[in-house]
Amino acid sequence: MENFKIIAVENENQLARCLSVRREVFVNEQQVPEELEVDDYDRLDSTAKHVVVEGSNGDAAAARFIPYKDGAAKMQRVAVRSAYRGQGLGRVLMSGLEDAARQAGYSRCILDSQCHAEGFYRSLGYRTLPGEPFYDAGILHVRMEKELQ
């Protein structure tokens, strides 16, 4: 595996790099409307924390978390560019995001997983909460959670 660097976003340029990865994955590939994909958490002065994963040939992945109720962090917008999938980079991305959540004082995280990605999150220690799958942005999801040790 090539060397990847996890960057905790601190400036507008890094944030724009996250949005660029996400646009390619969610808007172009998954056809999520851009007005749903980008929201008020995608501002530097919001309560969200973003990470971008940089490879030797450019950015490979991005994700964010936002504060959620009951003191949990909610992981969102988890995106690995298609050319980088299946090589463990999603694991690297989630590990960086969970580290950032721990550093921010969170001991638990939740996420809404697209159903096709449930096995991915399960392999990282997330468990699916009881309840029917639901649609968000036209894609079927389940809610999952994990304690951050």
Contact letters (x/-) for ligand COA, 121-140, by CB under 6 A? Answer: --x-----------------
* Residue 138 DSSP SS3: coil
Residue from 9, 52, 62, 79 binding ligand COA (CB under 6 A) = 79
**Quick check: 90 binds ligand COA (CB under 6 A)?**
yes
Residue from 25, 72, 142, 144 binding ligand COA (CB under 6 A) = 25
- The stretch among 10-18, 42-50, 97-105, 114-122 that binds ligand COA (CB under 6 A) is 114-122
**Quick check: 78 binds ligand COA (CB under 6 A)?**
yes
Report the candidate in 81, 129, 73 with the shortest Cα–Cα distance to residue 99.
Answer: 73
H or E stretch at 7 = strand 5-8
**Quick check: 116 binds ligand COA (CB under 6 A)?**
yes
Q: Which residue has the tokens 């646009």?
A: 23
Report the candidate in 149, 147, 148, 112 with the shortest Cα–Cα distance to residue 133.
Answer: 112
Exposure letters 3-25 (e unless 16+ CB within 10 A, then b) = ebebbebeeeebbebbbebbbbb
What are the residues binding ligand COA (CB under 6 A)? 25, 78-80, 85-91, 113-114, 116-117, 119-120, 123
